[in-house]
A and B are shown apart, each in its own frame.
Chain A
Amino acid sequence: DTGVSQDPRHKITKRGQNVTFRCDPISEHNRLYWYRQTLGQGPEFLTYFQNEAQLEKSRLLSDRFSAERPKGSFSTLEIQRTEQGDSAMYLCASSLIYRGNEEAFFGQGTRLTVV
């Protein structure tokens, strides 16, 4: 399967614990996005990378959230000291930007439940 893959698909954690999600993008894609989606809402932008450089992190994102993309390949999203409000679907997408145009390919997401 050469699509975007995310791991794990589901995560249940206790409040206060740290969690880490992984995203493997399509290999030739230079951009990688993280979004968060709650029920009935559209994907909310969290952060994105071009190759290994993190270009922007949403101002809505607290310092408990951190993302990395070492060597411009896979990416990890870590949430420290999880809160119930962090419960959501975390979506990863990759794209190949060319001449200002890009089409995002999404993974199936990681559903986080904080209890």
Chain B
Amino acid sequence: SQQGEEDPQALSIQEGENATMNCSYKTSINNLQWYRQNSGRGLVHLILIRSNEREKHSGRLRVTLDTSKKSSSLLITASRAADTASYFCATVSGRYSSASKIIFGSGTRLSIRP
């Protein structure tokens, strides 16, 4: 089963513009993570935000988390052609760390037009 649902499913923007992807989830979480996947490859971890954090930055990435709305957003600023990929949010839930696991959403396919 998938916990998160990304919006939009697909996004096409011009190089240099900012890209925003949203993720909604259903149950309470320990943390939320974003991953990137290039076509036919494995996923690469981008950033993790804990449930007690509201915003986090890493390079051109900005992630926000609103636990009251059970939602997160990923902003990629000054997009580049190399950012073309699928982006997935993943939630880690579980009352005890020994029972927690990583569950992925359905993803947003991002295309950057040159």
Binding site for B on A (CB under 8 A): 4, 33, 35, 40-45, 48, 50, 55-56, 58, 60, 91, 93, 95, 97, 99-109
Contacts of B82 in A (CB 8 A): none
Contacts of A93 in B (CB 8 A): 42-43, 102
Contacts of B107 in A (CB 8 A): 40-42
Chosen A-B contacts, 14 in total, with CB atoms closer than 8 Å, are A33-B101, A33-B102, A41-B107, A42-B4, A45-B103, A45-B104, A50-B98, A55-B101, A93-B102, A97-B97, A99-B97, A102-B92, A104-B102, A108-B41
Closest to A48 in B: B101
Contact size class for B? Answer: 20 to 34
Q: Which of B2, B50, B97, B98 contacts A44 (CB 8 A)?
A: B2
CA distance A76 to B33 in the complex (A): 26
Contacts of B41 in A (CB 8 A): 108-109
Known contacts A99-B97, A101-B92, A106-B42; A42 and B102 CB within 8 A of each other: no
Binding site for A on B (CB under 8 A): 1-2, 4, 30-31, 33, 35, 41-45, 48, 50, 88, 90, 92, 94, 97-107, 109
Contacts of A108 in B (CB 8 A): 41-42
A95 touches B102 (CB 8 A): yes
A42 touches B88 (CB 8 A): yes
CA distance A55 to B99 in the complex (A): 7
B43 touches A97 (CB 8 A): no
